[in-house]
Amino acid sequence: MQITLIRHTSVAVEPGTIYGFTDVDVAGTFHEEARQVAQNLSQEQFDIVYSSPLSRCMKLSAYCGYPHPLLDERLKELNFGKWEMENWETLQDPLLQEWYSNWLQLPAGGGESFMDQYQRVSDFLDELRGKKVRRACLFVHSGTIRCTHIYAGIASFKNAFTKDIPYGGRSDVWI
């Protein structure tokens, strides 16, 4: 099965803001960014389209011609717990350094660890594989895309964060 992963467009938050699970709005540049994404997808045919239930993904899905994607909670970005809407530069949690050392296993701000996110995305992908579809499109977040890359074997936990995933970016994987 081929999966086309689309990252949401830029968001309306200050740079450095931690906004994983928070439902933040899209930036003022949404229409020009979304136009590029839609143009990139204009010749594509998908058997099924999913979206994270966060509005930044649903808005892009709708703009691209998929106003009613299937929504799945497992496609959300990492839950940063009490760190949500804080700034990385000014965050004063004494557990931050410990998390930097073990982000794979330790919950960020009491929310989720990356392994927690990977497990829920993997559960979604296992279920998707059980459906008889050839091509799927997912409007999601960079963390969800990184988890899918690991699942598909094109990245490892060690190198999953070495490649930038731009806003509005596209990645095609086969599982």
What length is written for the chain? 175
What CATH number should be reported for the domain holding residue 138? 3.40.50.1240
- In whole angstroms, what is the distance from residue 17 CA to residue 83 CA? 9
| Band (28; pLDDT cuts 50, 70, 90) | very high
In the chain, DSSP assigns E strands to 2-7, 48-51, 70-71, 135-140, 170-174
Mean pLDDT, range 58-66, rounded to an integer: 98
Dump pLDDT digits (tens) for 68-112.
999 999 999 999 999 999 999 999 999 999 999 999 999 999 999
Question: Which domain does 93 fall in, by range?
Answer: 2-174
Query: What total number of domains does the chain contain?
Result: 1
pTM (global) more than 0.85: yes
